[in-house]
Structure 1
């Protein structure tokens, strides 16, 4: 083998080895799922994750909910990954209601509440190993999700006075490059 040919083989082998190291690092940093896509969920306004998730979501209503008004929810996303995360398809729903004043004459349930979701197509980018809220990301409050007590119910809603809601959050995320 001539000297130039040997140099090409050594250089080719070194580049192949470097390529394998880069792929291994990307797989290790990119987390689960071959496409880099994962779901994050949270329940009850606290932080929780689903199996295989790569981020957490939390967030509660910013103010008390009264008939005829809504309260925005400043969602917060925690990204433990070494790469930025693009979060989309954010959803919030009322999972349960704890209503200490509810009784058979004055019921209060999740159906007494409605959630306005974020505008379709909204995406946020969470930096690597960071926690960011919608407010911290500069999203205008009018595009945050909001929860309201349905005002046009035929039933007496006095049972909902002082109620607390268990919210469930969900979203999809993909590792940003």
Structure 2
């Protein structure tokens, strides 16, 4: 918006933040023998369902493992898991079972990821320790998705700036995903200032140091629905919006007349 009599015209700079990552999960169990069964090295076979779990970072995945006695095996069986990605923990419930000849028992493997768990696909090997020998394992997959989502932020000042004036900035948030976002860590800064040709020719200065930004002061997270929303449409008081102010200094600020501000925006969004 050009304001030839004032000190400011808006220039919107859109900053792409966040990342939407999606992996397609596989659908089969890889095992030593046909049908998803473990070989009977120790007289125990394993069947696991499901073969693949997909979770967002910070989510939990569960697998049901059926342990069956084979070849007359009887004794205590302790399930194990290997191949977990970094920043991930796992536990079986129960931690061990006692099998008698020809009988089965089911244990549940629960895998807990963190926000810092690397996204991507991991092959987990579920095996058993029965007696003193380690059984060959069944491979299942854990697919971890980045929980950050794609969105854009822009802004618009509703009035021109002049020395000593402060104007609220109504942010526009576009959410192209198929579900709402939990938005946090909103930040606005003055990236650069473009002076008019007349100010440049006259050698009149105007820099980001002539301006001050007060960032959003409301509560987090902000729930942003699908589509384009504004802070106003989210029913947030203008008192909470970011504010752009022009400082009133002792030096000549005529170089800021008609100047264009390039604003930079950032934020963090997670899928609900």
Same fold (TM over 0.5): yes
Matching residue of 1:72: 168
Question: Take 2:219 and 2:232, find their aligned partners in 1: how far apart are those partners?
Answer: 18
- Of 118, 125, 136, the match for 2:223: 125
Matching residue of 1:84: 180
Matching residue of 1:142: 239
Normalising by the residue count of structure 1, what TM-score does the alignment of the two structures yield? 0.69
Matching residue of 1:4: none
Q: Is the 8 A contact 1:76 1:132 kept in 2?
A: yes
Question: Take 1:161 and 1:72, find their aligned partners in 2: how far apart are those partners?
Answer: 19
Q: Is the 8 A contact 1:60 1:167 kept in 2?
A: no
Matching residue of 2:209: 111
Name the count of aligned residue pairs: 140
**Deviation of 1:158 (Å):** 0.8
**Deviation of 1:106 (Å):** 2.4
Q: Considering only aligned residues, what root-mean-square deviation do their CA atoms show, in Å?
A: 2.7
Tell me, which stretches of 5 or more residues in structure 2 are unaligned? 1-46, 57-117, 120-143
Normalising by the residue count of structure 2, what TM-score does the alignment of the two structures yield? 0.46
Matching residue of 2:255: 159
Q: Is the 8 A contact 2:211 2:244 kept in 1?
A: yes
Tell me, which stretches of 5 or more residues in structure 1 are unaligned? 1-12, 39-52
**Deviation of 1:36 (Å):** 4.5
Higher relative contact order (CA 8 A, sep 6+): 1
Question: Take 2:269 and 2:158, find their aligned partners in 1: how far apart are those partners?
Answer: 25
Q: Give every structure 1 segment of 4 or more consecutive aligned residues whose post-TM-superposition deviation is greater than 2 Å.
A: 32-38, 101-106, 120-123
**Deviation of 1:84 (Å):** 1.2
Question: Take 2:154 and 2:267, find their aligned partners in 1: how far apart are those partners?
Answer: 11
